[in-house]
Structure formats: C-alpha cells, structure tokens
Structure 1
Amino acid sequence: MRLRPRLSLILLCLLMLLMGGLFLTLALVWAPDKSVEELKPKWAPPPSQFIQLQGQSVHVRDEGWQQDPVPVLLIHGTSSSLHTWEPWVAGLKSEHRVITMDLPGFGLTGPNADGDYSDTVYTRFILSLMDALHLKRVILGGNSLGGEIAWQVAAAAPQRVEKLILVDAAGYPLTPLSVPPGFRIARIPALAWLMDYCLPRVVIERSVRDVFGNPEKVTSALVDRYEAMLLRAGNRRALRQRLSQLNTGGDVEQIRQIHVPTLILWGGKDRLIPPDNALRFQQEISGSKLIMFDELGHVPQEEGPVVTLAAVRIFLQ
C-alpha cells in the first residue's frame, strides 16, 4: 500500500518530463506565418515591384535594357521564387530586358483566392502578365514547374514565344529517384497540416540539398531564402493544394506541337526529374538542342550559374 503514492509520484514526474519535452520540441520547430510586409525589406528591395494582376499583388522584377524588342521572361519552380534567377539576370541584363516573377502560391505573391494552381491557370497567368507588361513576344524560360508552364504557353500561344529555354522541366510522367522531404510531408494528409504551424529548418535544408548535385554547395543563406518563402502567409497551404492538383503527363501530346527554337538544359544528377526526361524533350521538340551538365542537379541555374548562363547567352545570340 505504501508503494502506490510513490509510484503515482514517479508516473506524474515522468508525465511532466514527457510534456516538457513535447513543449520544448514544439518551441524549437514552431514556425508561424510571416506577412508580406515582414518579408519585403529583405526579399523585395528595388528593383522589386508589386503589380495588381488577376486580383493579386504579384511580385515582379523588370530589369535591364527596356528597349529590348523581345524580352527574356523566366519562371521559377515549385516552392521557389524569382530569386532563383538572380545570377542569370545579373549576367543578361546588360544586353536584354529580363523579367522574373513569383508565381501564385509561391514567393511573395502568395496564394490566390480560389486555391486553383492547375497548369491551365498558370498558363493564363503568364499570358496575362505579358499583357499587363505590354509584351507581344518573349524568350520564355522556366525551371521544373516553371519549365512545364513555359512549354505549355509555347504550345498554347506560339505566336507570343520567340524562343524557349527548358531547365529540368516537368511535363512527362515521373519516376523520381528521390523526392525532397518537404514535398513528401506535404503529400501525407495526416502530417501535412502540421506544416502550417511547425517547419523544422532541417527539413528545408534537406529538401534543398536533395535537389543539388553537390549538396555541399547549399549555404545557410540559401536555406534562409527557401525558408522565408515557405513562411510567407498562405504558401504552405498553397503548396499542398498544388501538389494535389498535379497533372504530370496529362498534356504531353502538346510537346510535339512546339516548333519554336528550344534550348534544353539539364542537370545530370537531377534525381527529381531524371535526365531521361531531357532526352524525351529533345526527341519530341523538333530542332531542339540539349546540353547536359553532368555534375549539376535539379536547379542548375542556382548550382552552376556560370556554365548554364554561358549556354544561354550563346543560344540568345
């Protein structure tokens, strides 16, 4: 009988330790949303601007030679932002007008009102952006999701695309060799809702490292940027919605209809969209040119900006 109070005390202490550990863990990974106004000073300095388009305030940068008759328009990938193109923009803007933006659902643009992030909606968005900026024709480039949007715009409105640059572009049915941890969590309903409140930095870092050919190139500053863009209010929910609306491979018949000059750049160590996809793009887009960068991963414009930009500059000439 004397042991029962002592046993109860021990159990109570263990419970308190367990609860304390849980609260400490939550405190370490707690990551509430951040407003655009909080993020703007660091991530949207000049020449960033925000334009009203389709009921949203869209984060845009319009740089370089403003008299360029055919500007370069670059589209980022899933969970990325216009910042992914900064090295290319720095190298191109002395000779070209270069426009980058944050797509709806990502970056500082953030979620749209109806939660529709289908390929059709993104295609209309790019054409609407071109109209708003009075761009009759562009050289259109994109990475991953951005590449998929780029070729769909070229297929839907070929008269508005002079050249096409596909960088590890999505489009064909996928069999990834590896999927970033953040994407895997976002697609598990039982865990995905936690992302709205908890976002361990280690998950972001591992996700970024997963898409690099050489993970040692991933810096703390780079992880800071991806983390900030995910924390933008509404973006985590938008990511879940986008991943649930994937139609990868659903419109591949359009690829054969593309007849604009096309440059295909690919990382030979891309494990998310493996290099055999690059070969298929080359086969199905008549006259296209493929350059494989054996040591780079899924975002070669970030991991190897010098060599990838050199290929782009030759193509633009």
Structure 2
Amino acid sequence: MKLFYKIIKALLLFIGIMIIVVSLFFGHKDIPLEELKSKYAQAPSQFVDIEGMQVHFRDEGDQMTDMPIVLIHGTGASLHTFDEWAERLKREHRVIRMDLPGFGLTGPFPDRNYSMENYVDFIKEFLESRGVGTCILGGNSLGGAIAWQFTAKNPEMVEKLILIDAAGYPMKSESRPIAFTLARIPVVNKALTFITPLSMVRSSVENVYADKSKVSDQLVERYFKLTLRTGNRQALVDRMAMETDMSKTGLIKNINQATLVLWGDEDLLIPVANAYLFHKDLPNSELVILKNSGHVPMEESPEESLEALFEFLGVTP
C-alpha cells in the first residue's frame, strides 16, 4: 500500500512539473482589449452595448438600402473571416457583420450561456439596435446554425438565407481542429484556458482549409491574438460543453425563404453530405459545391464563393 501511495505521489509530482514546464513554454496571458482594438478595430469598426457586452461590429456600404446583408461567423472565428466578401459586397449593398459573444473582440456572454437560443436572441437584439427589420442573412458553421434557427423563429425578418458549411444536422467529422477536441476533454480543457501554443492555432486553422498554402502567418496571428482576448478561451470551453440539440432540425423543412446552400467539397469538419441534407429539406434552396475548398470557403476561396453568391442574389459581379 505504501508503494502504491509513493507511485501516486510521484505521478502527481511529475504531472505538476510537466504542467509548469508546458506553461512556461506555451502559456500566454490574455491580451488586453484596448491593445487588440488598436490592431483589429480600426475604422469602420464600431461597438454597441448589448446585454452588458460591448459588441464589435462593422456596418458598411449604402446605409440607405432597405435590404442589408448580415453575415455571422463560426466557432473560433471573427467578423474578419468575411473581409473579402464585405470588401466586394459593400460596393452595392449594406453589409453588417459582428463578433459573436465568446469570440473576436466582443468577448464572452456575461452569463456564460452559449445555447443556440441565446445566440438567436442575441442576433435579434443586435439587428434591432441597427434598425434592421428585414435582411438577407448568412452564416458559416455555427453562424449558419444560428442563421437558420433565427430564420425559423423570426421568418418576417429574413428575406433570403445563405448557409455556408452550416451546422445543424448530426455529423461525423473526418477531422476536427485540435483546439475543438481539447476543449471537450475534462481537466485538459482547463489548461487550454491559459496554455495556447501558436502551433495549435495554426494547426486548427489549417484543419479547416483544403489548401494549406493559403494559411498565411498574418491569418494565423489574427486567429491567435483574438483567441487571447480576455475570456475567449474559457468561452470556447463553455461553448463546447453545451449539449447539441438536434431536435430543432425538424424546423428546417418549414423555412420557405430562398436559400443558398454553399459548401466546400473538402470540408472535413462538417461533411458535404450535410449540404445535401439541407438542400433536400429546404423547400426553396439552391446547392453549390465548391471544388478544392474546405470549411470556410468565404475566407479560403472568396472569388469562387462570391461568384455563387452573386448568382444567387441575381446581380452582376
């Protein structure tokens, strides 16, 4: 018995030492919001108070248009993932995008409630704060799930719907970002809130790209630094701890808005089979599968994805 306790004590000591060593090499302090703002909240960025959060957003293009395009990013991303789209769309459209609570510069929900219902309610409150009554609503991954659930709940506020590698149906990922995996493992996820190797962030971004050569140092740095925004690492752990409610998928068949289902054919996180499920269940949908593109085609393949979007909107590129 004494030998057993000695082994346990030695094992715990070893684990403690390893945590200290890893922390010294890979631990990173949170980056103050004001420091991040100087780099990632330049004009036309703005902030609005919603539910006690200073929500980071950009509202660009023709403010007089009565049908703005609203874009919602996915898990671990930020409004910057739509930079290329916004740069082109704002020439003829009003384009609104925001950092969801838990990500980017907005920071965590004060109550740490990352349920889909809370995100849907947040989007409505945000749109009302911008005076938006009706819009064309688009979202990628988590943002796509928020978009279609928002549409199902508030159909009068959505003219058209754009689903980009959207979450919603049960799925079996071929591969997933390592940060997503670690955030679901008890004890390990606690360490993730202060140990965040740059290499892990790069690996996670590369995981959702088909063409790894498109993952630049500048892109990785942006994901990395915004991850270090105070509260975001804990928010990722909290978000991954939420139970996924698949019961809502029955609502998809009731969405009558014209919908573009846009998917990268090499998406390893949410398989392309799910694109066909959306297309089958949505009564008024168009399906476009982009060749040689992964989970974030608007970021990885902006020209090809924009071409599909313009055709859906019925406008000349």
Q: TM-score, normalised by structure 2?
A: 0.92
Aligned to 1:116: 113
Aligned with 1:259: secondary structure?
Answer: coil
Aligned with 1:62: secondary structure?
Answer: strand
Matched, 1:28 2:25: yes
Residue 180 of structure 1 contacts residue 211 of structure 1 at CA under 8 Å; is this kept in 2?
A: yes
For residue 250 of structure 1, report the CA deviation from its aligned partner. 2.8
Gaps of 5+ in 2: 1-12
Alignment equivalent of 2:175, drawn from 173, 178, 198: 178
For residue 50 of structure 1, report the CA deviation from its aligned partner. 0.7
Aligned to 1:85: 82
* RMSD over aligned Cα atoms: 1.5
Aligned to 2:222: 225
In structure 2, the CA distance between the partners of 1:93 and 1:194, relative to structure 1 (3 Å rule), is same
Aligned to 1:61: 58
Query: Partners in 2 of 1:149 and 1:270 — Cα distance?
Result: 19
Alignment equivalent of 1:204, drawn from 194, 201, 204: 201
Query: Partners in 1 of 2:273 and 2:245 — Cα distance?
Result: 15
Q: Structure 1: which amino acid aligns with 2:41?
A: A
For residue 27 of structure 1, report the CA deviation from its aligned partner. 2.7
Aligned to 1:130: 127
Alignment equivalent of 1:315, drawn from 300, 312, 316: 312
Structure 2 counterparts to residues 229-240 of structure 1, below 5 A: 229-240=226-237
Deviations 1:17-47 (A, max 9, x none): x97x986643321211112111001011000
Structure 2 counterparts to residues 133-144 of structure 1, below 5 A: 133-144=130-141
For residue 230 of structure 1, report the CA deviation from its aligned partner. 0.8
Residue 30 of structure 2 contacts residue 228 of structure 2 at CA under 8 Å; is this kept in 1?
A: yes
Aligned with 2:187: secondary structure?
Answer: helix
Query: Partners in 2 of 1:22 and 1:66 — Cα distance?
Result: 52
Query: Partners in 2 of 1:85 and 1:135 — Cα distance?
Result: 20
In structure 2, the CA distance between the partners of 1:289 and 1:194, relative to structure 1 (3 Å rule), is same
- Which structure has the larger Rg over C-alpha atoms? 1
Residue 105 of structure 2 contacts residue 226 of structure 2 at CA under 8 Å; is this kept in 1?
A: yes
Q: Structure 2: which amino acid aligns with 1:302?
A: E
Residue 177 of structure 1 contacts residue 274 of structure 1 at CA under 8 Å; is this kept in 2?
A: yes
Aligned to 2:8: none
Query: Partners in 2 of 1:300 and 1:248 — Cα distance?
Result: 26
Aligned with 1:250: secondary structure?
Answer: helix
Query: Partners in 1 of 2:313 and 2:133 — Cα distance?
Result: 18
Gaps of 5+ in 1: 1-14
Q: Structure 2: which amino acid aligns with 1:275?
A: V
Aligned to 2:189: 192
Aligned with 1:51: secondary structure?
Answer: strand
Q: Structure 1: which amino acid aligns with 2:49?
A: Q
Q: TM-score, normalised by structure 1?
A: 0.92
Query: Partners in 2 of 1:55 and 1:153 — Cα distance?
Result: 21
Q: Give the number of equivalent residue pairs.
A: 300
Matched, 1:285 2:282: yes
Query: Partners in 1 of 2:23 and 2:152 — Cα distance?
Result: 47
Matched, 1:297 2:294: yes
Matched, 1:163 2:166: no
Q: Structure 1: which amino acid aligns with 2:188?
A: L
Residue 63 of structure 1 contacts residue 93 of structure 1 at CA under 8 Å; is this kept in 2?
A: yes
In structure 2, the CA distance between the partners of 1:167 and 1:248, relative to structure 1 (3 Å rule), is farther
Residue 55 of structure 2 contacts residue 106 of structure 2 at CA under 8 Å; is this kept in 1?
A: yes
Residue 32 of structure 1 contacts residue 196 of structure 1 at CA under 8 Å; is this kept in 2?
A: no
Query: Partners in 1 of 2:23 and 2:147 — Cα distance?
Result: 40
Alignment equivalent of 2:36, drawn from 26, 34, 39: 39
Query: Partners in 2 of 1:25 and 1:188 — Cα distance?
Result: 18
Query: Partners in 1 of 2:25 and 2:68 — Cα distance?
Result: 45
Q: Structure 1: which amino acid aligns with 2:150?
A: V
Query: Partners in 1 of 2:255 and 2:188 — Cα distance?
Result: 40
Aligned to 1:154: 151
Q: Structure 2: which amino acid aligns with 1:216?
A: S
Aligned with 1:50: secondary structure?
Answer: strand
Query: Partners in 2 of 1:310 and 1:162 — Cα distance?
Result: 20
Residue 22 of structure 2 contacts residue 195 of structure 2 at CA under 8 Å; is this kept in 1?
A: no
Aligned to 1:7: none
Residue 170 of structure 1 contacts residue 248 of structure 1 at CA under 8 Å; is this kept in 2?
A: no
Aligned to 1:8: none
Aligned to 1:213: 210
Matched, 1:273 2:267: no
